[in-house]
Amino acid sequence: MNPIKVGLLGIGTVGSGTFNVLKRNQEEIRRRAGRGIEIAVVADLNTERARELTGGTVDVVSDANDVVTRPDIDIVIELIGGYGIARELVLKAIENGKHVVTANKALLAVHGNEIFEAARKKGVIVAFEAAVAGGIPIIKALREGLTANRIQWIAGIINGTTNFILSEMRDKGLDFDTVLKEAQQLGYAEADPTFDIEGIDAAHKVTLMSAIAFGMPVQFDRAHVEGITKLSAIDIKYAEELGYRIKLLGITRRREEGVELRVHPTLVPASRLIANVEGAMNAVLVQGDAVGATLYYGKGAGAEPTASAVIADLVDVTRLHTADPNHRVPHLAFQPDELSNVPVLPIEEVTSSYYLRMRVSDETGVLAEITRILAEGGISIDAMLQKESREGEPQTDIIILTHLTREKQINAAIRSIEALQTVLSPVTRLRMEELN
């Protein structure tokens, strides 16, 4: 059987990794796929570099439109990134009857509903394992491996840059700005790290996982997103003293009223496996009603780890290339006409436990006033830590951990606490998840 022909859009870090791994393991991949998989053409604006990376063994063009309309191409790999030209090219590839493999989580989180519907109408596949958690096969696990389960919740460390920064802040006691510069020097953070440090990248990924887990359209615009830029080294230190570690988590949870979809710094008990994921590694914890908790751990970025996921999709598409479209695994795991419009809950309706830190005057009655406000708001205290004031400095830090409560209740209590004359600075609030 003739090899299946592939067009590659973009031969940067992941593109070159995909080309190299496919070439290196071509015989193993052929035996698994049932036929060869061959990159026939590469589109990249830097054609000279593309020819150098491919060794002159494939056609190289500067215009990606030449690839998505080429009659002999069966599968298009989109590794350009972004929302704009990538969307146009993916839709044009689909219109021309090409299957698409992409690592573009931003594109699918924002335009996924449009793209999946276009693919359904044309009877082609859009595969996106590499869009979430790099080389970790979490999309396949959610769509296929856990299909017998009613997924209850997912919590993931799904951005290696922020996990590296938080690990360094904890290990070295450094502030955010210092560690960010270190991460940029080491190549863990981009020159413009906004998508990573503001939580946007993680929100793209958890949006896709949420849609697959709960059988609903992708709804990135309804996700609550907070990054790590305002996180203080002192809160990481206090969390450690209380037996917790702070991680930027993407969380989605099924509740009777709807689905929680959120990204934010989160206190996790230090005894949990996911709390001990350090450096630039990723991990995703999935709770299913039948299987219980399952943890997926590995490299969430990089040339060859991400290429591993891209090629796994290539093999899947090759196997299913001639199959009846109705017999393929649906893009979002559930049949398209069975997707539910379950509401995504606003953050004020989320239920969580909370870490509260406040700078207060070191005088009699302050703690009593604070605990009174919490009690009147129906908020139960789980633990408390009061630091000793420094000599000659009549103020101190109070740290309170609460039991589960609704966010709007904690927000109301914080407003009342901050109105006290003895509270000297805004209250720092972080959410907590037991993940048990």
Return the H-helix or E-strand segment holding 16: helix 13-24
428: which strand partners?
A: 357
CB of 11 closer than 8 Å to CB of 298: no
Residue 1 is given by DSSP the state: -
Torsion of CA 71, 74, 75, 78, to 10 degrees: 0
Q: Select which of 5, 98, 105, 205 is catalytic.
A: 205
Q: Is 260 helix (H, G, I), strand (E, B) or coil?
A: strand
Residue type, 99: H
Residue type, 246: I
Residue where the block lists tokens 């006290």 = 420
CB of 251 closer than 8 Å to CB of 416: no
Distance CA 94, CA 118 (A): 7
Distance CA 56, CA 54 (A): 5
Q: Which long-range contacts (CB under 8 A, 24 or more apart) does 411-418 make?
A: 411/348, 412/377, 413/373, 413/374, 413/377, 413/379, 414/356, 416/373, 416/377, 417/356, 417/358, 417/370, 417/373
* DSSP 3-state percent helix, strand, coil across the chain (nearest 5): 40, 25, 35
Distance CA 366, CA 421 (A): 10
Is 205 part of the annotated catalytic residue set? yes
Backbone angles phi, psi at 76, to 5 degrees: -110, 125
CB of 394 closer than 8 Å to CB of 382: no
- List residues with catalytic annotation: 205
